[in-house]
Amino acid sequence: MPLFKKIGGKIMIIALPTKTSGEKSFISEQFGRCNFFYIYDTETETGEVYINANKDGQGGVGVKSSEFILKKGANILIAPRVGEKSMRILKSTDLKIYKSTDKIVKENIASFLNGELKEL
Residues that bind another protein (CB under 8 A): 29-30, 33, 54, 57-61, 63-64, 66-67, 70-71, 81, 83-85, 89, 92-93
Q: Which residue's CB is nearer to another protein, number 46 or number 93?
A: 93
Least distance from another protein to the Cβ atom of residue 28, Å:
10
- CA-to-CA distance for 51 and 66, rounded, in angstroms? 14
Closest to another protein by CB, 33 or 106 = 33
Name the minimum Å distance from CB 58 to another protein: 5
Distance CA 28, CA 34 (A): 6
Report the C-alpha gap between 9 and 108 in whole angstroms: 22
Residue 34 corresponds to which amino acid?
C
Q: Which of 43, 31, 38, 37 is nearest to 7 (CA)?
A: 43
Nearer to another protein, 47 or 60 (CB): 60
- Least separation in angstroms between residue 113's CB and another protein is 26
Q: Which is nearer to another protein, 49 or 70 (CB)?
A: 70
**Minimal CA–CA distance to 73: which of 102, 46, 94?**
94
